[in-house]
């Protein structure tokens, strides 16, 4: 197990990072070692806002009516006899006894009620005092009161995250599920990035952050499609605008427009140069969307929210990078066929020599982040590639990559987003191979058999 990566690692040739295909092998330059991303290919729109449930209000119960006993009265004709007088006196004594007994009973009942109220208030006070110091997770109506996992350590700079069920047209995500995700994520990082905005995910994430009251910031995402004349961009722009109007920008660091847009476009055109003719054509579509997003934020009084772009590490177009505040580069040692022992060092060197160096050569000098890096823990038999690389996809190798990369990157001041929060089973069906097995957590949100270091 390596103690950290070395900056003296040999630089390797650029690699490609897009959805997995079966063409070629990793050592065949004509083939692609490519990485999957979320499709946004539907015209459906889901713009309803999530609302937090309020606990039901306890209505006061009416106090039952208690009739006051009235003394009975009987009009009896007076008789001049000792027996009658004695009888009347006895009757009066009986009535006084009955009335006295009733009054005593009423007083006892009143005393009992008063004592009950006093004890109830005392109990309520004790319960209130206890709840303020109660163990986390005892209040299901308060998402900010949740159980903490001692195995989780806040050591990652950032985590790449997509709420499960955020693909059109199904949109199976929910506020309850996103709240659970944010509760877990807040224990391992303070920053997350999204890829797109479909299925209301921008609003869900911001609502969950505010409901849980955790220290969390987010880079929202707009995932446009080059083939739909801007339909996907406009749809997601509306989702982002609605989320910002509803929840504000206090937890928003930026909006990332485009994810591997240049890579996908030039690959489909059969080219490899991000600044070639196909790359320039893609930039001509992407840059106006970047400018439009900046204008939207300005019109909302949110000019402090940054605008950026994400792409594969070797595929940034210079003009696109010159138009943004930040760039996010996907840098995957797995797809570059690196061994696990070389993975951390290669990632650091590739990012510095390819992406940071390019950004520093531009006049705007955008801040650069590693948008994705990580190590898979398994593979599906569907589309499995036996030549994926010299090291296995395994939990043990994920542990090595975390140990040798995460803390050292933080120490070096490298902003990165570990890929990813949890396994995504839908990718096993759509893409196969290792695509569904990149999570720190499994698909049921259980932490894999890893130890998160303290950085």
Cite the active site residues.
260, 372
Q: Coil, strand, or helix at residue 236?
A: helix
**Concatenated DSSP letters of 253-319:** EEEEEEESHHHHHHHHTT---TTSHHHHHHHHHHHHHHHHHHHHHHHTT-TTSEEEEEEETT---HH
Minimal CA–CA distance to 328: which of 338, 315, 346, 345? Answer: 315
Report the DSSP beta bridge partners of residue 256: 221, 308
Cβ neighbours around 302 below 10 Å, total = 14
Is 445 exposed, middle or buried, given 0-12, 13-18 or 19+ CB atoms closer than 10 A? middle
Distance in angstroms (rounded) separating the CA atoms of residues 166 and 418:
20
Is the Cβ–Cβ distance between 18 and 418 less than 8 Å? Answer: no
Distance in angstroms (rounded) separating the CA atoms of residues 225 and 235:
11
Close Cβ partners of 182 (under 8 Å, ≥ 6 residues apart)? 205, 208, 209, 212, 214, 216
Is 218 exposed, middle or buried, given 0-12, 13-18 or 19+ CB atoms closer than 10 A? buried
67-70 own/partner pairs: CB under 8 Å, 24+ apart = 68/106, 69/99, 69/102
Radius of gyration of the chain (CA): 34
Is the Cβ–Cβ distance between 374 and 438 less than 8 Å? Answer: yes
Quote the tokens at residue 261. 């847009």
């Amino acid at each position: 197990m390596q103690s950290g990566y070395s900056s003296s690692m040999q630089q390797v040739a650029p690699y490609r990072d897009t959805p997995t295909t079966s063409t070629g092998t990793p050592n065949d330059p004509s083939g692609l070692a490519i990485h999957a991303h979320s499709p946004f290919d539907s015209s459906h729109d889901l713009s309803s806002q999530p609302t937090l449930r309020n606990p039901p209000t306890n209505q006061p119960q009416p106090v039952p009516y208690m009739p006051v006993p009235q003394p009975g009265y009987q009009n009896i004709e007076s008789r001049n006899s000792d027996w009658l007088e004695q009888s009347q006196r006895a009757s009066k004594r009986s009535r006084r006894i009955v009335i006295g007994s009733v009054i005593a009973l009423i007083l006892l009942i009143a005393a009992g009620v008063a004592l009950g109220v006093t004890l109830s208030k005392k109990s309520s006070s004790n319960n209130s005092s206890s709840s303020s110091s109660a163990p986390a997770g005892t209040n299901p109506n308060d998402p900010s009161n949740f159980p903490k996992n001692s195995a989780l350590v806040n050591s990652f700079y950032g985590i790449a995250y997509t709420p499960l069920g955020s693909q059109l047209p199904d949109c199976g995500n929910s506020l309850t599920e996103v709240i659970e995700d944010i509760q877990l994520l807040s224990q391992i990082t303070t920053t997350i990035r999204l890829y797109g905005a479909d299925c209301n995910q921008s609003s869900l994430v911001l609502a969950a952050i505010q409901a849980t009251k955790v220290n969390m910031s987010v880079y929202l995402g707009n995932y446009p499609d080059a083939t739909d004349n801007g339909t996907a961009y406009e749809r997601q722009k509306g989702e982002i605008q609605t989320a910002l109007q509803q929840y504000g920008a206090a937890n928003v660091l930026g909006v990332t427009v485009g994810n591997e847009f240049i890579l996908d476009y030039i690959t489909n055109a059969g080219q490899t140069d991000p600044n070639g003719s196909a790359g320039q054509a893609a930039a001509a579509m992407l840059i106006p969307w970047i400018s439009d997003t900046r204008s939207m934020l300005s019109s909302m009084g949110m000019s402090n929210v940054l605008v950026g772009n994400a792409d594969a590490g070797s595929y940034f177009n210079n003009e696109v990078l010159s138009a943004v505040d930040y760039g996010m580069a996907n840098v995957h040692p797995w797809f570059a066929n690196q061994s696990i022992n070389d993975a951390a060092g290669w990632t650091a060197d590739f990012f510095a020599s390819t992406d940071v160096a390019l950004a520093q050569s531009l006049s705007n000098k955008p801040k650069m982040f590693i948008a994705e890096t990580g190590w898979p823990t398994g593979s599906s038999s569907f589309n499995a590639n036996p030549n994926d690389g010299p090291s296995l996809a395994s939990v043990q190798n994920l542990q090595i990559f975390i140990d040798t990369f995460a803390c050292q990157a933080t120490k070096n001041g490298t902003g990165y987003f570990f890929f990813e929060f949890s396994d995504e089973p839908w990718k096993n069906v759509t893409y196969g191979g290792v695509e569904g097995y990149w999570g720190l957590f499994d698909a049921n949100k259980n932490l894999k058999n890893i130890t998160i270091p303290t950085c």
